[in-house]
Amino acid sequence: MICNPFSRNCSPAVRRYTRGIALTMGGYVLAVLGTSALVHRYPHPQGLILYALSAAPSLCIFSMLAVVVEYLRDEKDEYQRMLVVRSILCATFAILGLNAYTDFLRSYGNVGGLPPFTDFVLFWIIFGIAQAVQSMSGRADE
């Protein structure tokens, strides 16, 4: 996934991945904005309405993860697949470590946790950084 998805030398899997991530991320933003607007307009939803409003952005997150799984299944280049798996592992380790740290802060010091949605945003930021670092470190001298 390190190539430009708009160039012709990218695999079809990268193009589908890029399109899928763009669509699911757009859906996520719309779902968050839409549900937030509804919650602010009609405060304190309860029951099934609360569950339905919470499910909308969550389904977009599951869809985004499904796009990544589909990419890993469809990409023929094993090296490219390995880079994505490494990036996922790096982001997962970082988020799990951060969650453990903040859980201990809450447990031992009665300190509040991170703001909502921090894990999701940080996961994809760390994923992108890991992709960039691997891209730069994987280049051979010309």
Say what the pTM is: 0.80
From first to last of the 142 residues of the chain, give the pLDDT tens digit: 556 656 677 888 999 999 999 999 999 999 999 999 998 888 888 899 989 999 999 999 999 999 999 999 999 999 989 999 999 999 999 999 999 999 998 889 888 778 888 898 899 999 999 999 998 886 654 4
Helices marked H in the chain: 12-41, 47-74, 78-109, 118-137
Both structure tokens of 27: 């859906």
